Amino acid sequence: MTNLGSIAVLLLICVVLYVTGGKKEKKVALIVILGLAIASLIVSLIKPIVGELRPFLVLQNVNLLVQENGIYSFPSGHTSLAFTVATILGLSYKFKNISLIYITLAIAAVVGFSRIYLGVHYPIDVLGGSGVGVLSGLAALKLGDYVFKNLGVYNGNY
C-alpha cells in the first residue's frame, strides 16, 4: 500500500488515465500532475525547515521495514501525494451520483498508516502530509479549473 504514495506509481496512473481516457480523464490527469507538483514543492520546502528526524534514526525499538534514504520526516511525502490524488479523483468522479471522496480518502489514509507501520514516519508526519495533500489537491482543482476555462476547453464537468 505504501507504494500508492510513490511519485512513480502516481505518475504512471496519470499516464494511463491520460492515454486511455476521454476528454475529462485527460483534464483530470493533468490536474493530478499539477497537484503532485504543488504537494512535492510544499513538502520539499517544509522538511528541511522543520528538520524532524525519522523515527528509525531516533528511536531504538523501531524496526525499519523498507529502505529509506531521506533523513527528515515531517511532513510525509508519500501521504501528501496520496491525499492529493485522493482529493482530486474523489471530487472529480461520482458513482451513481455519490462522490468517491470517502473511498479515495480512505485509501490515502491506509497509505499514511503504512508509512507509520514501516517505521519511517510518526503519526504527526502523516497528519501533516494529509493536510498538505488535501490543500494541494484543492489548489490544483481550482487552478486547473481556471486554466481550462481560460483556454476555452472547459466543458462544465467539474
Determine the pLDDT at residue 158: 42
Taking only the tens place, the pLDDT of each residue in 35-52 is 999 999 999 999 999 999
User: What radius of gyration, in Å, describes the C-alpha atoms of the chain?
Assistant: 16
Determine the pLDDT at residue 74: 96
Least reliable range by pLDDT among 24-28, 44-48, 82-86, 135-139: 24-28
Tell whether 155 is covered by a domain.
no
C-alpha cell at 77: 511525502
pLDDT-based confidence at residue 129 (cuts at 50, 70, 90): very high
Tell whether 129 is covered by a domain.
yes
Count of structural domains, the chain: 1
Tell whether 93 is covered by a domain.
yes
**Alpha helix (H) ranges present in the chain?**
7-20, 23-50, 55-58, 77-92, 101-117, 123-150
Tell whether 156 is covered by a domain.
no
**Domain interval for residue 41:** 2-65+72-150
pLDDT-based confidence at residue 62 (cuts at 50, 70, 90): confident
Residue 157 clears pLDDT 50, i.e. is over it:
no
Q: How much of the chain exceeds pLDDT 70, in percent?
A: 96
Q: What is the pTM of this model?
A: 0.88
Tell whether 38 is covered by a domain.
yes
Tell whether 157 is covered by a domain.
no
Taking only the tens place, the pLDDT of each residue in 72-118 is 999 999 999 999 999 999 999 887 777 889 999 999 999 999 999 99
Tell whether 57 is covered by a domain.
yes
Q: CA 115, CA 124: separation in Å to the nearest integer? A: 11
**Three-state secondary structure readout of 19-49:** HHCCHHHHHHHHHHHHHHHHHHHHHHHHHHH
- Higher-confidence residue of 157 and 107: namely 107
Tell whether 158 is covered by a domain.
no
Determine the pLDDT at residue 147: 86
